[in-house]
Each structure stands twice: as structure tokens, then as C-alpha cells.
Amino acid sequence: MLCASTGVTLNATGTAGNAYLWSNGATTQNISVNTAGTYTVTVTTQCGVATSSPYTVSIIGEDPATTDAAICGSGSSQLSASATGATINWYDSPSGGNLVGSGPTLNTPVVNSTTTYYADATTTVAGFSGFAQPTNNTIGAGGYFTGTQHLIFDAFQNFTLASVKVYAQSATTTTVELRNSGGVTLNSMTVSIPSGASRITLNWNIPAGSNYQITRTGSASLYRNNAGVSFPYTIPNYLSIKNSSAGTGTYYFFYDWEITTPTVSCVSSRVPSTLTVNTLPVVSVSGNTILCEGGNTTLTASGADTYNWTASNDLNITTGNTVIATPSATATYTVTGTAANGCTASENVSVTVNPLPVLTTSSDATICAGTSATLNVNGADTYNWSPSTGLNTTSGVSVIATPAATTTYTVIGANSFGCVATADITVSVNPLPVVSLSNFSSICSNAALLTLSGGSPAGGSYSGNGVSNGQFNPAAAGLGTHAITYSYTDGNGCAASATKNITVNNCNCITPGTPGPIAGAAKVCAGEVVTYTINNNPNVTSYNWMMPATATIISGQGTNSVSVQFAGNFTSANICVTATNACGTSQARCKSISKKAPISVGNMAGNLYGNCNATVNYSVPANANASSYTWTVPASCSIVSGQGTNAIVLSTPTGFVSGQLCVTAFNGCVNSAPRCVNIYGAPPSPAVINGPATVCAGQTNVTYSVPVMYSANYYKWTVPAGSTIVSGQGTTSIVVNFGTTVGKIGCTAKNDCGDRGTKTLTIAFNCRESNPALLNVYPNPTSDKISIVFSSENEGVSEMQLLDLTGRVIKTNTLQAIEGINETSMDLSGLSKGVYMLNLIKNEKVSRIKIVLE
């Protein structure tokens, strides 16, 4: 069995021949073959012609059959390879390279260009295992033999002689030898064998060859057959035991040969399998992609050989490079192009369909000759009107048409997409009526009302200065010439008029006198509208009001009452009015007007402290220019009454701590700056503590007091350590017994809302004696020296201080005191005569005694 990539050499063994003829035609003694088949050789010798047994050569590891694949553009695909009974491995190189897969198919990675992979086939054939004849010593007669004869055999191919069977007459030790055809020992093994049949394990590798010898050495008595022998004993293609050293009639020692061959694995050549990457077509589409509703566009594709289009409902055809699209709404078309190599690519093209403008116009109009109609349109972005005859402009959303005759106007509207729509408006023109008016005679200014007539056609109306309800008032019109107009409107609504003059003469006319006083505010706010009035005079036909530049008449000019608005920059000015009739105009009546001055708020009156669950009055001085007041109070408080005035009643809750109370005044124009105070629920801290600041240690029944604090319901007193309050805690006055420690007396005024702090008075000790240590001095008075005796509760340092009456320390001694009575002395010589105080200080306690130095 051979791998396809190797070969085998076949040898003709035995008696040398004169000629050799192999079944494949070769004529040499040895031939090399790499093709499967059965081989024989015919040998011609001097003795005749002999033909060998057939020798079969099997070939494994044939090359696999592969298939190619093709893809378009980049991507992956599947390649395949097959070989009967083989395992396929894939590589990225014809030799070496990387293993990229195993199995009959290869799923390639994504590739961008044509790529070749290589497959080989690994064929594995299990090795041969077999036993050669004779399998035992029963083939014929024989017996045990101690000689050194051997068997001769050929190996047609490499194999392993695994074991042989022997028969020993008795347990013994022998050496088995393998020799070549020249008798040279190739392998040997010394073994111990038992009596009777046993198997010797050899595991000798026998290369292909001829005339090998196998024997044993020594004198071991092993069985051999000398009858019934029939050489050769063969395993086809592997082994032929063909003779013995004693000739073909004797078989020596070794029976039931076990031979094996290894498992054969053959790897074929690598066979290419190519993944061809074909180029994708690059498809593009050209054409107009923006349409107006109802339009179409020609779309042209390029870059491929054939084309197929989708969205066929909107297309005239679905194949070919050019189609006509008529979409009713924005649509996307996909064209798929196929190249000559079969690869396809698609391209999308969106065709946007923009809406047409929807024009809305004014209705058809009917006008009178010489008049105009306004024509309006909307629904688009730009407009163009035609014809231009009678139009004030040919563009815009609104035009004025003044046609001489009935005309139909067309407007074309375009939206932001460039899409257009049209609409028509007809303007019908009616003729004007023919109107006439007769002449008027002159009239006196004090004449009665004149009923007007002479207008034609009948049914019209009169107008002009002094005309009312078809009558002319000469007094109202005034002296001079006045135009009277007669206007007539026909059934189509068309109007015309005729005008004639009438003259008013002065026939004993009286000019009006100066108007009376002007009523209305003299102080105003910027921006305010104020009404001013004078008494009406029935002899007056009109009033003329005159204002500064910073004031404007809103209404009433010509009458006896006007409404005036003052500008933001108004400060002060006069307003005036005159009266007029047919005889003339009066003198002016004026009134001085000024801007209201800013106002301020005075100091606020009311309790600042002690406003705990209380009803409290607060006020500010009244300001004559203020029209109202606005108070703002802390969040937890409320106004009981008075909001809007200069005085309020404020309610505060229990637990009120503090807050800000503010008020502003309004003068009708602006608010003043706020006036604010902080108010508190707790009473104030006492302003002063009445009582002595200097006392003697141990002094008793000393009185201290504070003034009554508003709303305080409790007074908390504190005294120095060691001092006691005999009476008065919680009131405005206490009695104190002092101890021996100085400090401060404090008083805090409280109510249910808390307190505002503590007032303190610092207490100093002066000339009083104290004697907690039973201090005694003698002699006293003295002239120069004193003895000091005192008791101590425990051991420790005691300090003696001599002070003058100002509290200045004159002399100091330190003493280590013992428990019980202690005695020491102090030299006073050199000191001025007078009164001194001696302090004994021990364990923070002070004993004091007065000393007189004479």
C-alpha cells in the first residue's frame, strides 16, 4: 500500500535469471512503481521459465477534487473538496502557510479580491495484522532437535515480526537470531521458554528484502517437522517462508508467525480552489428628482448592462436604462443593474413631489366707474397679476384694480417649491349717475335754518359746513362763503355729486365771550388720561382746545369736553380753550397743569419688640399727596384692619421670632420707596441692671432690679458661682447673697416667643472680710509683724496676699499647708501705716481679714 506521492521497488528474487518480463512490460530485475495494480514477473533461466505470484500495489492519498466559486464585490463563499475516505484540510498557500479550515467545505472569510485556497487529502489506512502458516507443528511427522538449522524467507514490503510460536522439549533458555542472506546477524533476542508450546514476542522491524534467515542458537531442544512440509508458506504481499537451510523437506522451530504493519497516513498534494471576486457594477441614476404635483420626470440609469426598476405603478416601463416616472406623491425608485459578469447593484432615487399652491381669492367685485376694488389672494408665496390695465401693481397678495370697463384679472401664484396655480377675479364696472344742483342765494348769519333744495335726481343728501339733516345753519357755518354739496347714489350703489356756494353775511352778529373756568385735575401723572370740561354756551358753534407738545387730545376736540393723555416726559404746562361762532372767536381760557410730585413715607410708629401672639398698632404720618398705602407683613403675621391706609392693626402668632414690616405710599402715579422696620416676638434685653457693682465676699441681702420690659412674662436671673438668689427669680427684682467668687449678674426678659439676649452686670469684691478657713492674725493692730493662723482640710499649697484698699497686691507669701492648724508670719515693716486686707487662697477658696498697721 503506497501513498500517491511515493513509490515502491519490486524485486525479482530467487535464482538469477537470464531475462525478466514484468506484467507492466518492464524487463529489469527490479522495478519502481507508483501506480495501483497487480504485478507479476516472469523469469527465464537455463532451467526454464517461472512466473511469480501476483503482487498487489494499492495507492492511497490521492489528490482531492475541488470546486471553485465566484462572488460579486466583497464577501465570503463556500469552497468544496472531496476525496474518498480522506480528511480534507484547507490552507492559504500551496505550501507552508496557515491552516484555515478542515472538512469537505470551507466557509471563506470576507475577501475583496480573487483569492485561491488549497486543499489536501489525508488518507489513513489501518495497518495489517496476520498469521503465517504453519500455525502449529501438526503438519507432519517431526521431533525435537538441538541443531542450528534455519528458515529462509522473503519480505515483500516492510513489516514487523511481532511473535512466533515454538515447542520446547523442556524449559530452557535460547537466543533467537535474524540474519540477512549473507548470514550476518541483524537482530537477536535471548528468551526463557517453558516446556511445551509457547509464544516468543520479538517485535522486529523487517525491511523489504529476500533470503532472510531466522534461527536459534545454543542447544535448546525445539520441535521441527521433517515430513508434511510444503513450502512456500506465504502471506500475500507481505511474506513468503520459502525454504530451510536443510532443504524444502524440513521446517524448523518457528510456527504461526504474527506480522503487523503500521497504520499508513498519506497526505496528497495541495489542490487549488479559487474564489473569484467579480467587480460590482456602479449604478447611478440621473434626471430631475423634484416635481410639482401632476408632473413627470425621465430617469436614466447607467453603469451596468441590463436594468430592472421597482415601483412599477408610477413608471411607464420597468426594464431598460430609461424610464418615465409620474408619481402622485414623493416616491423612491430602485433600479437594479446587472453587469456582464452577472453581478448586480442597486441604486435608489427619490423623486420629491411638491404640492401645487391652493389659491384662495377674494370674490368677483362690482364697482362704480372711477372707483377701485381691492383684489386679494393667498395660498402661495409670490404672485403675478394680468392684465396690467387698471392695476396699481402686478405683484403681491393684494392689488387695487381701477378698470374703466369690466375686466377679468388672472393671478398666477407660485409657492416656495416653484409650483404654480392660477385663479381669475372679474371686476364689473357700473356707470356713475348724472347729478346737478341749483344756485343758492346769500343769507344773514342770524337767519333761521335754511332747508336745502335744488338737487337732482331727487333722493340725494346735502353736506357742508353748517349743514345738518338737510338744513343749513348760517350761525354754525359762520361768516363767509361755504360750499354745499348734493350727493346722490343710484340703485347700483354708484354715487355722484354737485356743489354750489352759499354766502353768509354779518347782519348784527355777536362774538362769544371768554369761556368759563376749566374743570379737571391740576395735578396729573405721566401717561394718565384726564377729562377737562367748560360750561357749554348755546351761542357757540365750536370750541378749540390747545395743548402743550407733551399732551394729546384723545377725544372731544370741537366740543366743550375733551379727554387728554399726558406723555411720560410731561412736567408742567397750560391747557387753553377758545369759543367760536359765525361772528368770531373768543379770548382763550387757560388752566395750569403740573405733574404730581414724588412722595415719601415718614418714620413708623409701633412696638418693635414683644409682639408675641399680640395685636399691635402701626402707623406712619399721613401724606396729603398720598392716595393709598400698601403694607407688607412677615409671612406668619396678618393685617387685622387698615390695609390701604396709613395705620394698620397687625396680628402676630405664638412662636413669632422676627420679620420685616414695610409700607409704601401711592400718589396716583408711582409708589414711594418702602419704609421698613424689623419687628420681634420676644421682648428686648433689659437696658440696665440697677444695683451695686462692687460688694464684699459673703455679703447678703443685696437687691438688683431691671425696668419692666414690654410683653415680658418672665425674667431669668443668673448670679456668680457660690452666690444665691434669695428671692425674686422670674420678676424684675431679686435679692442676692454673695459667696466668695466674683462674676456677673445677668437678666434675660422672656415671653412665649423667646428672648433677645441677656443684660449683665460685672460684680467685683472689695473691702468685706470672709473667713472660710478660720483665718486669725495677731497682733492686730500691729506695728511691724503679724502671726497668721488658719486651718486646712488637706495638704497643699496656700498663698498669702496683702492688698491695700484699692485692691493692689502689696506682698505675697507661699506656704505648703498641712492638714489641720497651720501657722506662719509676715513682715510688715517698711509699709505705710493704714488699713490692709490679707487674703488666704487655698483650693480656689479665699479667706480675708482686715489688718491695721500703726
DSSP one-letter string for 773-827: T--EEESSSBSSEEEEEEEESS-EEEEEEEE-TTS-EEEEEEEEE-SEEEEEEEE
What DSSP element (H or E) covers 161?
strand 159-168
C-alpha cell belonging to residue 752: 412665649
- What is the amino acid identity at position 18? N
Q: How far apart are CA 209 and CA 182, in angstroms?
A: 12
Kindly report, residue by residue over 44-75, the tens digit of the pLDDT. Answer: 887 778 777 677 666 666 889 999 999 998 89
Q: Do domains 283-354 and 436-505 have the same CATH topology?
A: yes
DSSP one-letter string for 77-144: -EEEEE-TTEEEEEESSSSSS-EEEESSEEEPPPBSS-EEEEEEEEEEEPPPEEEPSP-SS-SS-EEE
User: How far lies 125's CA from each of 130, 206, 232, 357, in Å?
Assistant: 16, 20, 28, 86
User: How far lies 232's CA from each of 249, 280, 445, 625, in Å?
Assistant: 11, 72, 177, 154
Q: Output 386 or 775, whichever has higher pLDDT.
A: 386
Average pLDDT over residues 537-547: 88
Topology at the third CATH level for domain 283-354? Immunoglobulin-like (2.60.40)
DSSP one-letter string for 499-522: EEEEEEE-SS--------PPBS-S
Q: Is 687 left (phi over 0), alpha (psi -120 to 50) or beta?
A: alpha
Percent of the chain at pLDDT > 70 equals 95
Check pLDDT > 60 for residue 1: no
Question: What Rg, from alpha-carbon coordinates, does the chain have?
Answer: 72
Topology at the third CATH level for domain 436-505? Immunoglobulin-like (2.60.40)
Q: Output 772 or 585, whichever has higher pLDDT.
A: 585
Q: What is the pTM of this model?
A: 0.39
Topology at the third CATH level for domain 360-430? Immunoglobulin-like (2.60.40)
Looking at the DSSP assignment, which residues form a beta bridge with residue 467? Answer: 472
CATH classification (class only), 694-765: mainly beta
CA angle (524 as vertex; 518, 526 as ends), nearest 5: 135
Kindly report, residue by residue over 755-803, the tens digit of the pLDDT. Answer: 999 999 988 876 544 555 578 899 999 989 999 998 888 888 888 888 8
Dihedral through CA 439, CA 445, CA 447, CA 449, nearest 10?
60
* Pairing between β-strand 845-853 and β-strand 834-842 as defined by DSSP bridges: antiparallel
The dihedrals phi and psi of 751, each to the nearest 5 degrees, come to: -145, -170
CATH classification (class only), 129-264: mainly beta
Lowest mean pLDDT among 94-98, 290-294, 485-489, 689-693: 689-693
Q: How far apart are CA 356 and CA 291, in angstroms?
A: 10
The pLDDT value given to residue 564? 95
Q: How far apart are CA 86 and CA 79, in angstroms?
A: 17
Q: Which CATH architecture has domain 525-595?
A: Sandwich (2.60)
Q: Output 597 or 152, whichever has higher pLDDT.
A: 152
How sure is the predictor about 718, in pLDDT bands with cuts at 50, 70 and 90?
very high
Q: How far apart are CA 459 and CA 490, in angstroms?
A: 9
Q: Output 546 or 447, whichever has higher pLDDT.
A: 546
Q: Helix or strand or coil: residue 535?
A: coil
Q: How far apart are CA 227 and CA 250, in angstroms?
A: 7
Average pLDDT over residues 190-209: 96
- What is the amino acid identity at position 675? R
Q: How far apart are CA 507 and CA 722, in angstroms?
A: 118
Q: How far apart are CA 677 and CA 163, in angstroms?
A: 127
Kindly report, residue by residue over 592-601, the tens digit of the pLDDT. Answer: 999 887 788 9
Q: How far apart are CA 717 and CA 728, in angstroms?
A: 9
For the chain, the structural domain boundaries read: 2-60, 65-125, 129-264, 283-354, 360-430, 436-505, 525-595, 615-680, 694-765, 776-853
Average pLDDT over residues 372-401: 95
DSSP one-letter string for 208-265: SEEEEEEEEESS--EEEESSS--S-EEETTTEEEEEETT-TT-EES-EEEEEE---EE
Q: Is 124 left (phi over 0), alpha (psi -120 to 50) or beta?
A: beta
Select the CATH number that applies to the domain covering 776-853 from these four: 2.30.31.70, 2.40.128.20, 2.60.40.1930, 3.20.20.120. 2.60.40.1930
Check pLDDT > 60 for residue 221: yes
Q: How far apart are CA 124 and CA 60, in angstroms?
A: 8
Kindly report, residue by residue over 255-281, the tens digit of the pLDDT. Answer: 999 999 988 888 989 999 999 999 999
Q: How far apart are CA 26 and CA 28, in angstroms?
A: 6
Residue 330 burial (CB count, 10 A): 13
Greatest Cα pair distance in the chain: 197
Q: How far apart are CA 783 and CA 804, in angstroms?
A: 16
Nearest Cα to 150, choosing from 240, 69, 215?
A: 215
